[in-house]
Amino acid sequence: MMLDSATRPYRTGYLTVAGQRLRYSVANEGRGEPLVLINGIGATGDLYDTLRSHMGERETIAFDAPGVHRSPAPLFPLTMADYADRVSGLITGLGHSEVDLLGVSWGGALAQEVAHRHPRKVRRLVLAATTPGLGGALGRPAALALLMTPARYYSPSYLRRIAPTLYGGAILDHPELLEEHARVRNQGAPSPRGYLYQLLAISGFTSLHYLHRLRQPTLVLAGDDDPIIPLENGRRLAQHIPRSRLEIVAGGGHLFLFTRAAKMAQVIGDFLDEQRPDDAAP
């Protein structure tokens, strides 16, 4: 479901961070602790609209990563640390000293890097359908092969054809969502160079050496039918992050955050709002 200004007003704009122009959108500005949303590889922040529609009055911030949709590709490849520094700059540029952070898939790896490099800017962390990178469990070969190309962003018919292999979780049981994703992905496609740079960044990424130092309360969400990111990755993240807990989405494929948006929004909102006795821990 796409949102319009009549039902959920957005403020959209651009910020330049370290020479990189980033397009962003803000919903419910000024209402509660902001939640910054980081999407998967090649994906525009607009794909979060379905989840945002169930987040109540919470302020949410989505953006297009460098090389995606209206954020131009950088001239040279970026590391995950470089991407993280740009997310940090976006947070500061929007006037926030601290936010909650949610990342899915590639965006979940980036969220880990942001929390590691800029710990004071991240209050709570939500990691969905994501991986610690090198040292994590590999997905199914057929799904990983499909990830090597951004063709699914340029051809809606190709996305429909490969969706069961790539995403799992009975994605074909949600034809309206698949159609919407096909349309938004096509309209907000990454540039080939931007997609390649994201692939290069994740190919050398690992968080296993610093996960034990993350101090943010963390919710790890993982589906048990995810062809791209097997459940074992969620278990490893939860085992290594001290203040974390794992929620397994039974029957959840790679897109469970969107196919089960209402339920996931409730789980995420409850986690972000809960009071914990160790919230004051350094």
Catalytic site residues?
A: 105
User: How many CB atoms are located within 10 Å of the residue 265 CB?
Assistant: 19
In whole angstroms, how far apart are CA 94 and each of 14, 23, 87, 91?
10, 12, 11, 5
User: How many CB atoms are located within 10 Å of the residue 170 CB?
Assistant: 13
Structure tokens of 215?
């101090």
Spatial strand order in the sheet of 244-249: 10-17, 20-27, 60-63, 35-38, 99-104, 122-128, 218-223, 244-249
The answer to whether 14 and 23 have CB atoms below 8 angstroms apart is yes
**CA 7 to CA 175: how far, in whole Å?**
23
Interaxial angle between packed helices 80-93 and 106-117, expressed in degrees from 0 to 180 and rounded to the nearest 10: 70
Backbone angles phi, psi at 274, to 5 degrees: -70, 150
**CA 226 to CA 143: how far, in whole Å?**
10
